[in-house]
Chains A and B, each alone.
Chain A
Amino acid sequence: MRKAGIRDKVGLILMSAASFMPLASLKASRLDRGSPFFLWDLPPEGLLIIGSLLALILLSGVAYARFGRDIGRYLSPRILWSLMPAALIAAVSAAGAGSTAPEGARLGLGAGFWLLCAASLILTGRDGVPNSALLAAGASLALCAYLGLMDDLSIYRELVSRRTVFLSEVANHMKLAVLSAFAATVPGVLLGYWCHVSPKARRWVMGFINLMQVIPTLSLLGLIMLPLSYLSRQLPVLADLGIRGIGFAPAFIALGLYCLLPVTANTLAGFSGVDRKALFSADAMGMTGRQKLIRIQAPLAFPVIFSGIRTALSQNIGNATIAGLVGGGGMGTLIFLGLSQAAPDLVLLGALPVILMALLLDGFLGYLEKRVRMAVLHTDD
């Protein structure tokens, strides 16, 4: 028998705990709190769907133990766990179809559902969720939507009723977060290098950047809006370029300022961390200052700087929600609209893509970082 790792234990404990939480609730209308129902309240066909998936997982697990390998590449017990979210949705929608609810009634997904999904995703991998599992989960959920199994879900209805806005806001959000992070990279790296060469500058620059970081986002936006609207009124050219006190520009600047800390701090750390011996050797070889910078310091500091940029991008995806309050667009528009209407599912519809975007971007940059590290340092760690 294979020993269960700590991740598996956490996953299994989470799963058993989540089984006793409300799976979903039947809401008479959008703002209704709804009557919750549990796993054991599901109709027989719903239990059958979940039960057969569990049986399949068990079967492939037994086969694994018996033959010492997976029965098929895509039938390993781990990968099968990724089908659980879709199975749960199918089961919940079967419950919805069985009830005699009035027009406009909908199903809100409960804590039990989200935790069961999280637990099954934890169980898909030994360390981290493998790409194949994510792909399988995504594909099975898309199939659910195609088959109409999601039509009664509250969050899906919110999506359908504003799908055009949703897509444009996702694009807006991405644009705002990624562009402002990239725009902050150049000054961030230059400031970091300046801090490295001049201890005097370090005190002032790092002090300023740390100050930026502790100002609450909304206050920073307010602080930026005042000089920006003054500037755009004095210089109409700026206003024509889209740089005004409200909308894209203040959000862009505020997010860029927040990105300075990780980029600058990591640049400083990267340059400070370069091995002195390498620098001494370079001196001994007669390298000039700029040769040392370009051939030795920059390549050695690069991986650290890159992870700073990665941190900046991930935090930016989350921070960009605040743009919704100042007309900058993004997922914040949906979240704040949901809050103003006390509609939790609309808030969720705004928040889930933000999480997904942050995770996907972070994964992609992690992959890129690995490649760059290999290319620059010729090492794999």
Chain B
Amino acid sequence: MAAPVLPVGMALHSYATVPGGRHVAPIRGIKPGWLNYRYNLPMAVEWNFREGENVKTRLLVSLLVVALAFSMMGGCLTKKESKAPVVVATMLDSEGGVLGKAIVLLLRAKKIEVTDKVNFGTPDILRKALENKEVDLVVDYTGSGQYYHPEDATDATIWNDPVRGYEFTAKLDKDKNDIIWLAPAPANNTEMIAVTRKFSEENNVKDMRAFADYVNSGKPVKLICAAGFVENPMRLIGYEAAYGFKLTNEQLIILSSGNTAEMLKALYEGTSGVNASLVYGTDGALDQMDLVVLDDPEHVPPVYLPAPVIRGEVLRAYPEIEDTLKPFFESLTLEVLQKLNSKVAYEGKDAAAVAEEYLKANGFLK
């Protein structure tokens, strides 16, 4: 909008013009052309001195321009490429970091374009993003199928079997959502109970049976765990039923989240008398904090094998992804994952560096 250049600071400043061309005395303290007093802004000049103009239209037009600018800005910020790269996203934890970065490196080595969204968010957000096609390739755990397809997961025993649980989830996801589960890693990242080595040796507690005897003998016990672990019939309630013990509320410290790093720290430092903690099978701290995971001969909790999960559409566009990831995931045993996680969580190394080092050492990457 080109503005007529007016002699700013001249007679116009001392008299305000009103419709009809009459001149009136200025109001004290407020000068006409309020913004152009110091800054010669054309908009203010126009608004103040053009007579008979339609301010309403002008206001609407400028609002429209602003709105348009914003929508264009939004469009530019999130512009999508015509040939879409594979969006790799993982959970917001150490394992998500290492596995995600390794996948990114492997795909890039195969000249596949990748958008790196490693450490994307919480598990439920990640799953929603996959279903909504916001992300293409994630790392998920086979046991999660019971939450994704609760109406079909009537037979609880399949979750205790690594093969059946995987096949069940893979089949349902493929038929219902066109989401493909690729080959999983042979490492069960499930919810177990850990104690310190000192405690284990002093009380001769090496598996859940011995732990049940210890609890039933009335010796002090304090288990720190997540709320979801306590209330679930396939977790603590299942353990209690299978091994015949019962923990009272006073013997539990319940955290709202499933953040085991916090729990293991409490166990390691003996905070508030904690002597047992919930732990995940591949937790990096197990290796470093000298903890003992109690054996579970009855296989109470579901099996959680980490596996790459990809949208069918994307896999059909890049079929080579399946064979690229297979050998890598098959190499990830429980010990390997514990070591990798420990490097990230305990030694504080960059997840990408840890992943690259592992891939190179094992010949997956040149």
Contacts and interface: CB of A to CB of B under 8 A. Distances in A.
Interface of A: 29-31, 33, 104, 106, 154, 157-158, 161-162, 175, 179, 182-183, 186, 225, 229, 232-233, 239-248, 278, 281-282, 285-288, 290-291, 294-296, 299-300, 324-327, 333, 336-337, 339-343, 374-378
Contacts of A336: 92
A262 to B, nearest CB: 19
B89 A327 contact: yes
B34 interface: yes
Given A245-B132, A327-B126, 9 more contacts: A29-B346, A179-B73, A285-B24, A295-B30, A295-B32, A327-B125, A333-B119, A340-B94, A340-B261
Interface in B25-82: 25, 27, 29-32, 34-35, 37-39, 47-48, 55-56, 63, 66-67, 70, 73-75, 77-80
B35 A375 contact: yes
A30 B347 contact: yes
Contacts of B346: 29-31
B48 A294 contact: yes
B120 interface: yes
Given A294-B47, A341-B261, A341-B345, A376 B134 contact: no
B77 A340 contact: no
Contact of B31 (A232, A247, A378): A378
B348 A30 contact: yes
Given A286-B18, A376-B35, A241 B74 contact: yes
A264 to B, nearest CB: 17
B41 to A, nearest CB: 10
A333 B78 CA distance: 19
A287 B134 contact: no
28 contacts: A30-B345, A30-B348, A33-B269, A158-B348, A161-B349, A162-B350, A186-B67, A241-B74, A242-B78, A245-B128, A245-B132, A246-B132, A281-B27, A325-B121, A325-B122, A326-B125, A327-B117, A327-B126, A327-B134, A337-B93, A339-B259, A341-B261, A341-B344, A341-B345, A342-B262, A375-B37, A376-B35, A378-B29
Contact of A31 (B121, B126, B345): B345
Contacts of A182: 70
A285 B28 CA distance: 13
Contacts of B34: 295, 299, 376
B68 to A, nearest CB: 12
A242 B269 contact: no
A336 B262 CA distance: 13
Contact of A296 (B30, B70, B128): B30
B132 A232 contact: yes
Contacts of A290: 55-56
Contacts of B93: 337, 340-341
A175 B74 CA distance: 11
B78 A288 contact: no
A332 to B, nearest CB: 10
Contacts of B133: 239
B172 interface: no
B224 interface: no
Contact residues of A: prevailing secondary structure: helix
A288 B19 CA distance: 8
A347 B333 CA distance: 30
B288 interface: yes
A291 B18 contact: yes
A296 B262 CA distance: 59
Contacts of A248: 77-78
A165 B134 CA distance: 21
Interface of B: 16, 18-20, 22, 24-25, 27, 29-32, 34-35, 37-39, 47-48, 55-56, 63, 66-67, 70, 73-75, 77-80, 89, 92-94, 97, 117, 119-122, 125-126, 128-129, 132-135, 259, 261-262, 264-265, 269, 285, 288, 344-350, 353
Contacts of A245: 128, 132, 134
* 7 residue pairs, one from A and one from B, having the closest CB atoms: A242-B78, A342-B261, A30-B348, A161-B350, A299-B34, A246-B129, A327-B121
A240 B80 contact: yes
A94 to B, nearest CB: 22
Contacts of A343: 261, 345, 348
B117 to A, nearest CB: 7
A377 B122 CA distance: 50
B348 A326 contact: no
A244 B66 CA distance: 23
Contacts of B134: 244-247, 327
Nearest to A161: B350
Contacts of B119: 333, 337
Contacts of B120: 327
Nearest to A278: B27
Given A241-B75, A244-B132, A285-B18, A375 B30 contact: no
B234 to A, nearest CB: 23
Contacts of A232: 132
A287 B27 CA distance: 12
A248 B121 CA distance: 12
A183 B78 contact: no
B22 to A, nearest CB: 7
Nearest to B39: A375
A87 to B, nearest CB: 26
A300 B350 CA distance: 54
Contact of A157 (B35, B126, B288, B348): B348
A366 B126 CA distance: 40
Nearest to A281: B27
A246 B123 CA distance: 13
A186 B259 contact: no
B267 to A, nearest CB: 12
A342 B92 contact: no
Nearest to A277: B27
Given A30-B345, A327-B129, A378 B121 contact: no
B48 A295 contact: yes
B261 to A, nearest CB: 4
Contacts of A287: 18
A248 B79 CA distance: 12
Nearest to B128: A246
A189 B254 CA distance: 46
